[in-house]
A and B are shown apart, each in its own frame.
Chain A
Amino acid sequence: MKVYVIFYFQVHQPFRIAPYSFFDIGTGKSYFDEDLNRAVFNKVSDRCYLPANNLFKELILESEGRFKISFSLTGTFIEQAKLYRPDVYQSFVDLWKTGGVELLSETYYHSLASIFDLEEFVEQVDEHIKLMKREFGHEPTVFRNTELIYFDKLSDVLINFPNLQTILIEGADRILMGESPLYPRWSANHAHLLLLKHYKLSDDIAFRFSDRSWPEWPLTVPKYVRWVNDLTLAEGQGRNLYLGLFMDYETFGEHQWAESGIFEFMRHLIRALLKEPMIDFLFPSEALKTLNFTPKALSVPTPTSWADTERDLSAWLSNPLQWNAMKSIFELLRLAKEKGRWDLVPTIRKLTTSDHFYYMCIKYFQDGDVHKYFSPYPSPEVAYKYFLNIIADLEQQLED
C-alpha cells in the first residue's frame, strides 16, 4: 500500500474592474484597471510565481521526476502573464518542460458558468482546452471547476469532453458524511473519478502555516511527515491512499510570506517525503491507473466548493447584490451571442470571473477577513456599483 501525495496548485488572476462611475457610462473608458492589474501581477510574480517556480523546478530536477505537481492555469492568468510578465510566462513553460507538471482543465475565465449557463460553461471549458493545446501542446484529462465547485450534474455535462476522466473536488464533510477523503470516488453517474481535497492537511499549509495562534505552530517538517504517515494507521485492507493537497499557488510567498519560512519548509518537506518508503507523488491523472480497489460512488446533489468555512457557493452568491450582478452578466452574454456581437463576448466573459462577485460578499467583509484582504475596493457596495455601471454601458453598446 502507498500514500500518494497529489499536489494541485491554482494559478489565477482576474481582470479587476476599474473604478467605473455612473458618469463613465458611454465615455468609452476601459472597464478594466490596467495599472492595478499590472501592479498586482508584478507583486505576485516577484513574491510567489518566480520563487515558487524556481523551487519546484529544482525539486523536480533533483528528484529525477519523482516529485510531481499539477497546475490549473486560467485563461485570464495566461493572458496577463503574456501581457505584463513574459518572463513569468516563460518560467511556467520551462517548469512544464521538466515533465514534472500536469496541467488541468477548467473554465478559461474562472467563472461560475457551471451554475448559471451550462452551454456557456461548455464553451469556456472548450476555450481553455484549446488554450492548453496551443500554449503547451497538452490535452488535459483532469478537470477542476472554479473554486472546486462540484455537483452531480457537472459530471453529466463533462461527458461532452470524452478525454476528461478525473475531477478534483472539495472533501467537504457534508458530502463525505464521516468517510475519509483519502479514497477516490466515482461520480454519481460513474463517468468520472473524483479526487478529494484533504482540507485539513491542505489548509495546515495554505492557511495556518504562519498563524501563531494555531496550537501546532510552528509547523515543522518532521511533524507534517508524521501526520502523513499516520494516515496509513486507519487503513487495514492495504488500499492505496490519495492525499489531495489542493491550494492556491499564491500560498507560497503571497498568503504565507517568504519571511514565514514557507519556501524552506516546502523544500525540506518534499525532500523528506521523497525519503519515506510508503509515500510517492502522483499526477492527478495517474490515480485512475494506480487504484487497487473499487471506489464507491459519491452523490453531491447541491454544489460544494473550497471557499470559506461553508464550502458552498455563499462566497459569490449569498446576497442579492452578487445574485443580481451575476444573473445580469450571464443574461448579457446570452444576448451578445444571440445578436452575434462577438466583438463584445470576450470582454463580457472576463466579467464572469468569480472574483468580481467575491468582492461583493458582505458576510465576511470585516477588517482582517479574507474577502476584505483580497478586495481592491473599499466596500462590497462600491464593487457592485462599478460592476452595474459597466453592465449598463454594455447594454447601451448592445443596442447599437
Chain B
Amino acid sequence: MRVLMLTWEYPPFIVGGLGMACYGLFRGLFSLRVTVDFILPVKEDVYFKIKSPEEADHPRVKSENGEEAKEQKKPLEFFEFIYELPEEGAYASLKDFIVEVSKSLAVSSKEPKLQVPDEVISRLKYLLLQGNHMISKVSLYTEKVLRIAQRLSFDLIHAHDWLTYPAGLMLKKYFNKPLVSHIHATEFDRSLGFGHPIIHEIEYLGLNYADKVVAVSRYTANIIKELYFVPEEKVRVVYNAYYAETQSPHKIKKFKEPVVLFLGRLTPQKGPTIFLELAKKVLERTKKVRFLVAGAGEMERELMLWASSLGYGAHIMFTGFLKRAEVERALSLADIVIMPSPSEPFGIVALEAMHFGCALILSKQSGASEIVKSAYVIECWDVDKMVDIVLELINNPKLLKAKQEEARREVQTFRWEDRAREVLEVYRELLS
C-alpha cells in the first residue's frame, strides 16, 4: 500500500506538535509495510520517501522524477510561514460572505463514495487567491503538490491539518483516490473562538469532503462534529503516542528547589497566564519552588511584565525559544509539568514530559487528558485546585517521585505501532 502524505512539518526540519506526530505515525506505518511518500512546504521541487526506519529519522530528498537527489548542497528552503489572525474588521464582510457560500457548499450526498464537486474546487482556488501572506504560502504548496504528485503512484492521500487540505481535496478530485483528513488542531483551538474565516472554510471543506477524518482526540472529534457538522460515522479518533529515541533519562538536579515547568508557545491557546496565576498563588505560600516558562511567542513581553511585577525575583524565570536539545534538558530538570491549555487538541508535550519523568497536571480541555491515567486532570480555570496539587507534590517528595515513576512507566504503553495499526484500519476501510 502506498500512501501520499501531505504535511507542513517533519523533524528535523520543522519540529512542532504536528511534526512530532507525523514522525511517529510515518515510522509506525513503515513498520506495518506501508510505503510513505511525503511532501513538505519547501521551495525545491522535491519529496521524501521512507524506505527504512533510518529514513524516518533522517528523511532523504527525492527529486521530482523519483530519483535519489544528489548530495544536498544547500539546506532546504522552507516557506516562511507565520500564523496570524486577520486585522479586526479586515475580513468582517468576508466572514458573512463565507458563511453564505459555505451553506451552498454543504455536503449533501450520503453516498459511500463521496465526490468533490467542481464548485468546491473552484471555491478553494478562489480562497487561495486571497492575497494574504499566509494563504499565499498554502497556495504555493498546493501547486507544488499537484506538480509532484503526477510523477508518483499512490493508493491513498492522507492530509494533515488545514494547510494541506486544499492540496488533498484537489488530488482526490483529479486522481480519484480516497482522502483521509487528519485534524491535529482546529482554528477554534488556535484562536480560542472564531478565528481566520478562510481557515475555517478550508477546514470545513477539507473535513467534510474527505472520505475519512482522523481526529487526535475525542475532544477534537467533538469540536469538528459540533462546529463543522462532520458526521460521527466518518470520524475516527486516533490518539498520539510517543516514540522514545532514548532511554528515559535520569533527572538533573539544577536547583535545590523543585522546578515547575510550562513548555509551549506563549499564545493564549497554551494558557501561559493560567500558569503564572498558579505560580503567584504557590509562591504566596512557599518560596521553596521555581517556576520556569519555556518557549517563545507573541505574549512574551506581557507575561514577563506580569511575572516580574509580582516581585518574586528569580522564582519565575523565562528561557525564551528552546532548541530541540534544550527542550529535552528542560524536561530533564523539571519535576512537575503543567499543561494548562484552555483548548488543546492533544498536547504531545505531555507524553514527552512523562518520558522525562515529570509529574503532570493537564487541563481537562486537552486531548491527552483522555488517555493519561497518571496525570492530574483539572479544569483549566480551576487554578486553586492546581495550586493544592503543586503544594502537595512539593511538600511530599515521596509522592512526587512516585508520580514521576508512574509517568515514566505509563508513557511506554503509548506506542506509535498501535496507533499506526488503527490508521491502517482506516485505510483498509477505504480501499476495500
Contacts and interface: CB of A to CB of B under 8 A. Distances in A.
A382 interface: yes
Given A384-B308, A392-B290, A396-B255, A324 B313 contact: yes
A321 B305 CA distance: 6
Given A319-B305, A381-B301, A399-B256, A328 B314 contact: yes
A327 B256 contact: no
B265 to A, nearest CB: 16
Contacts of B292: 22
A151 B318 CA distance: 35
Interface string B263-281: 0000000000000000000
B308 to A, nearest CB: 4
Main SS class of interface, A: helix
B305 A392 contact: no
A388 B311 CA distance: 12
A325 B306 CA distance: 13
A324 B317 contact: no
B276 to A, nearest CB: 13
A362 B308 CA distance: 14
A320 B309 contact: yes
B401 interface: no
Contacts of A395: 313-314
Contacts of B290: 392
B226 interface: no
Contact of B256 (A384, A388, A396): A396
Contact of B319 (A21, A26, A362, A391): A21
A314 to B, nearest CB: 15
A385 B313 contact: no
A124 to B, nearest CB: 21
Interface in B225-251: none
B256 A323 contact: no
Contacts of B304: 321, 381, 384
A25 interface: yes
Interface string A315-337: 00001110111011001000000
A324 B317 CA distance: 12
B161 to A, nearest CB: 30
Interface in A345-400: 362, 381-382, 384-385, 388-389, 391-392, 395-396, 399
Contacts of B62: none
A23 B252 CA distance: 11
B309 A324 contact: yes
A381 B317 CA distance: 11
A391 B292 CA distance: 14
A200 to B, nearest CB: 35
A381 B303 CA distance: 11
Interface in B302-337: 304-306, 308-314, 317-320, 326, 329-330
A204 to B, nearest CB: 36
A321 B313 contact: no
A392 B317 contact: yes
Nearest to A327: B311
B314 A385 contact: no
Contacts of A362: 301
B320 A324 contact: no
Contact of A389 (B311, B317, B326, B329): B317
Contacts of B329: 23
A399 B290 CA distance: 15
17 contacts: A22-B292, A22-B317, A23-B326, A23-B329, A319-B305, A320-B305, A320-B308, A320-B309, A324-B310, A327-B313, A381-B300, A389-B317, A391-B313, A392-B314, A392-B317, A396-B255, A399-B256
Interface of A: 21-23, 25-26, 319-321, 323-325, 327-328, 331, 362, 381-382, 384-385, 388-389, 391-392, 395-396, 399
Given A25-B255, A320-B311, A396-B255, 10 more contacts: A22-B319, A22-B330, A23-B326, A324-B313, A325-B308, A381-B301, A381-B318, A381-B320, A384-B318, A392-B314
A-B pairs with the 3 shortest C-beta distances? A320-B309, A328-B313, A324-B308
